[in-house]
Amino acid sequence: MDYVVIGCRALVGIVFLVSAATKIRPLASGEFAASVRRLTGLRGARARPVALGVVLLEGAVPVLLVVRGLAVPGFVLAGALLAAFSTAILVALRRGVRAPCRCFGAAEIPLGPRHLVRNALLGVAAAASAAALLVIGADDIAGLFREEPWDR
């Protein structure tokens, strides 16, 4: 089980690390904010703080996943971001927006069902890993409240 969790930490962490890193230059140039504006319909300067927030939160995921004891919050954050991204994609597709998602920087692939499938698969990996870590740690937590014979 430990190897599965480690593999999921690596998978989810690397995906979010690459996603955040490839948005830094487009964020600085305003290109990523423009993409957020197109995809979400945000008007004016509202897209820039959202774009910055996306990059910061994406960058936080791999950090949380490598810090001992913070993997569960890292997987929860990843899952929340993936749910938010999927919701934004669904709304954009329903509005007829077929602009590139810029999920990994300068990608030109227009939004489509493949983005939802990718997010769902990553979300399953994040949720399963968070659950596994909680189950694995349950014995340790229960042990804190159990009186051992030698404690009498």
Share of the chain above pLDDT 90, in %: 58
DSSP letters spanning 6-30: HHHHHHHHHHHHHHHHTTHHHHHHT
What's residue 117's pLDDT? Answer: 95
Of 126 and 101, the structure prediction assigns the larger pLDDT to 126
Task: Read off the pLDDT of residues 19-53 as tens digits, 9 standing for 90 and up.
Answer: 999 999 999 999 999 989 988 888 888 999 999 99
Q: Which residues contact 11 (CB under 8 A, 6 or more apart)?
A: 122, 125
User: Residue 84: pLDDT above 90?
Assistant: yes
DSSP at 60: H
Q: Return the structure tokens found at 72.
A: 């569960």
Amino acid present at 76: V
What's residue 106's pLDDT? Answer: 72
